[in-house]
Amino acid sequence: MIHISYKTKKSKIHGIGLFADQDIKAGDLIYPPSPLLDVNITEKQFESLTPQEKKEARYYGYFNKKTDKWHVAFDAIRILNHGSGKDSNVTQDDNMVMTAKRDISKGEELLQDYSEIYPKEGEHFARINK
């Protein structure tokens, strides 16, 4: 569940983005996954989904190689856009807990470097388009 005040609005990066509605300090908690609300499914469960369900899971979720499961968040964190290297301002640890990499100003779009969860370049987009 997202632990900061935020807004969703049109992004210059892609579609709709997640924007800070408060100043955030480096290290502040932004998002821990919710074991009751988020979905974590095995590859076998994923394969049992309909084509449309798979498409949604690929678009709004990701395959976590550490847990060997698909993770799909229920809240707006799923629209967090990609920011490579110096552009990213949030980071995620091995437990999928997201914190601020640096101070983030109110109104700034929250961006994560997707290589944290997709180490192979383009893997996210290849999974989306399957």
Domain harbouring 31, CATH code: 2.170.270.10
pLDDT computed for residue 125 by the predictor: 46
CB-based contact 112:31 (threshold 8 Å): no
Flag whether 117 is in a domain. Answer: yes
Could you give the number of structural domains in the chain? Answer: 1
Flag whether 1 is in a domain. Answer: no
Flag whether 77 is in a domain. Answer: yes
> Which residues span the domain enclosing 49?
6-128
Query: Given pLDDT bands bounded at 50, 70 and 90, which one contains residue 120?
Result: low
C-alpha 30/C-alpha 20 separation (Å) is 10
As a residue count, the chain comes to 130
Flag whether 23 is in a domain. Answer: yes
pLDDT of 22-76, one tens digit each? 999 999 999 999 989 999 999 999 999 999 999 999 888 888 877 889 999 999 9
